[in-house]
Amino acid sequence: MELIETPLQDCFLLKPIVFDDPRGFFFESFNQKRFNDLVGQEVNFIQDNQSYSSYGVIRGLHFQKGEHAQAKLVRVLKGAVLDVALDLRPHSSTFGKHFSIELSEENRLQLFIPQGFAHGFAVLSENAEFFYKCDNYYNRQSEGGILYNDKTLSIDWQLPEADILVSDKDRENPGFELYKSGL
């Protein structure tokens, strides 16, 4: 597995070493020791989640606050998504900045998003299966969100406005202004 730095502090891409032959392919998608060595910290993932979405769906921007904050390791099993991470850590040199990358079944990239970030994705393919590990359990009282199309963030979701499908809950998320001083 190869670590690739992103423009966001402590947020990394992981590229697996893939072994292809006429039968198909094999790669180690996760190894706890190797992962911790690469990211330079002890991250103990305790929950796996998977979602299925159709083209145009945007999920996010979501986060967990306080003691229930979650680091995530995300990847796409089928299809392609535009994945977005937004740094909400007020003391970070990249606070308020976001990073986006296409994750797909073809590129097999994974994105590590540390605690203190908001996260979301847009489905670019006909459908997509999205998989992620979390280092903390979900807690409904600690969930938060930021409006996906907040003008101050200027996130290009790479979808025509007419094709975007967002839950009512995500449409009602507050703007980034509410979190300018941090979580």
Which residue among the candidates 98, 119, 132, 148 is catalytic per the annotation? 132
Is residue 132 among the annotated active site residues?
yes
Measured distance CA(111)–CA(116) in Å, rounded: 15
Is residue 62 among the annotated active site residues?
yes
Which residue among the candidates 62, 119, 148, 179 is catalytic per the annotation? 62
Active site residues per annotation: 62, 132
